[in-house]
């Protein structure tokens, strides 16, 4: 995988083709690429085979361990820890949408040994076909991705009785993160988002802390600064233009905010990557 394609796989901006990436490689170029709140434009399945950490999906934080499958639909904000002992694979399903997949995020602890082994075999076959130049390897890849979708559907059905229904706070935070993903470039603050959701900023922030241990402003800042880092790392867009794109009222304000949250000025960060 070239550096350009690898970056695209990390950020979910590649040309819509399915891809398989080892989870540790998602953090190449900086752990901010996976830990910051952001969304991608295609469905993704994370299959953790070793290690543990925390993952935040739609504003709700939970712990993951080995043999945890996490499905994240396109457009859903998420971020997760990738420590040195975390291993597994990420499947990006592409944007054509021809594989039936869950409509909502799913976090599944796979306790049955044969189910975990089945997932490992399917991932191995997908990787083999993706790297093959044999006739019909692309069609074979699609079929194995379809089998992975079937495996996921079955695991969701098995876990159904165990899945806790989200409470009011988590439902509110999920709506908040969806609104951020839609409007984080507008420059709107927590007050405007809270008003759109019909709650007070204090209540919104309280629910965010309850769901993921972060304040409402921290989640919003994290999403904006991730996008700033991505644009600085992957484009030649001028710093001032990046700030304006993200709703900052001036280049100086953007620089101060970026440096406060990352410890580097935008120019220093761009040089470092």
Mean pLDDT, residues 88-105: 93
pLDDT in tens, 223-267: 999 999 999 999 999 999 999 999 999 999 999 999 999 999 999
Domain boundaries along the sequence of the chain: 3-162, 169-272
From residue 196, give the alpha-carbon distance in Å to each of 85, 90, 121, 202, 248.
41, 34, 46, 14, 20
Residue 3's pLDDT band (boundaries 50, 70, 90)?
very low
Q: pLDDT of 7-64, one tens digit each? A: 444 444 445 799 999 999 999 888 999 999 999 999 999 999 999 999 999 999 999 9
Give the Cα separation of 246 and 235 in Å (integer): 15
Query: How far is the CA of 64 from the CAs of 102, 177, 207, in angstroms?
Result: 19, 21, 22
Beta bridge partners of 16: none
Dist CA 135 CA 69 (whole Å): 31
User: Residue 243, Cβ neighbours under 10 Å: how many?
Assistant: 24
- Identify the pLDDT of residue 11: 46
Of 194, 187, 200, nearest to 245 (Cα)? 187
- Whole-prediction pTM: 0.90
Report the C-alpha gap between 171 and 245 in whole angstroms. 29
Angle between helices 216-234 and 168-183 (to 10 degrees): 30
DSSP secondary structure letters along 61-88: EEEE-TTEEEEE-TT--EEE---TT-EE
**pLDDT at residue 2, as a whole number:** 41
Residue from 41, 39, 55 nearest 181 by CA? 39
d(CA 43, CA 102): 9
pLDDT confidence of residue 8: 46
Q: What is the pLDDT of residues 120-142, one digit of tens each?
A: 999 999 999 999 999 999 999 99
Topology classification of domain 169-272: Arc Repressor Mutant, subunit A (1.10.10)
Query: Who wins on pLDDT, 196 or 30?
Result: 196
Q: Which fold has domain 3-162?
A: Jelly Rolls (2.60.120)
Integer Cα distance of 234 and 197 in angstroms: 33
Burial class (CB in 10 A: 0-12, 13-18, 19+), 126: buried
Assign 6 a pLDDT band (cuts: 50, 70, 90). Answer: very low
Residue with tokens 């994290």: 222
Confidence of residue 162 (pLDDT cuts 50, 70, 90): low
Which pLDDT band holds residue 97 (cuts at 50, 70, 90)? confident
Cα separation of 223 and 77, whole Å?
9
Compute the radius of gyration of the chain from its Cα atoms: 19
């Amino acid at each position: 995988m070239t550096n350009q394609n690898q970056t695209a796989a990390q950020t979910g901006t590649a040309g819509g083709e399915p891809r398989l990436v080892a989870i540790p490689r998602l953090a190449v170029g900086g752990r901010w690429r996976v830990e910051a709140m952001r969304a991608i434009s295609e469905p993704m399945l994370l299959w953790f085979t070793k290690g543990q950490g925390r993952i935040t999906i739609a504003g709700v934080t939970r712990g993951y361990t080995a043999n945890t499958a996490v499905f994240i639909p396109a457009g859903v904000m998420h971020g997760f820890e990738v420590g040195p002992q975390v291993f597994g694979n990420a499947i990006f399903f592409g944007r054509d949408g021809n594989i039936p997949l869950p409509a909502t995020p799913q976090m599944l602890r796979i306790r049955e040994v044969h189910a975990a082994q089945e997932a490992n075999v399917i991932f191995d076959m997908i990787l083999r076909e993706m790297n093959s130049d044999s006739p019909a390897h692309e069609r074979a890849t699609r079929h194995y991705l379809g089998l992975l979708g079937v495996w996921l559907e079955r695991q969701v059905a098995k876990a159904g009785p165990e899945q806790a229904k989200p409470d009011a706070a988590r439902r509110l935070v999920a709506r908040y993160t969806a609104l951020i993903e839609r409007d984080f470039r507008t420059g709107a603050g927590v007050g405007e988002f809270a008003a759109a959701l019909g709650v007070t900023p204090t209540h919104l922030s309280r629910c965010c802390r309850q769901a993921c241990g972060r304040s409402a402003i921290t989640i919003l800042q994290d999403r904006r600064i991730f996008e700033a880092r991505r644009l600085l790392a992957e484009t030649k867009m001028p710093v001032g233009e990046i700030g304006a794109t993200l709703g900052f009222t001036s280049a100086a304000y953007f620089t101060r905010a970026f440096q406060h949250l990352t410890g580097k000025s935008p120019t220093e960060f761009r040089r470092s990557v």
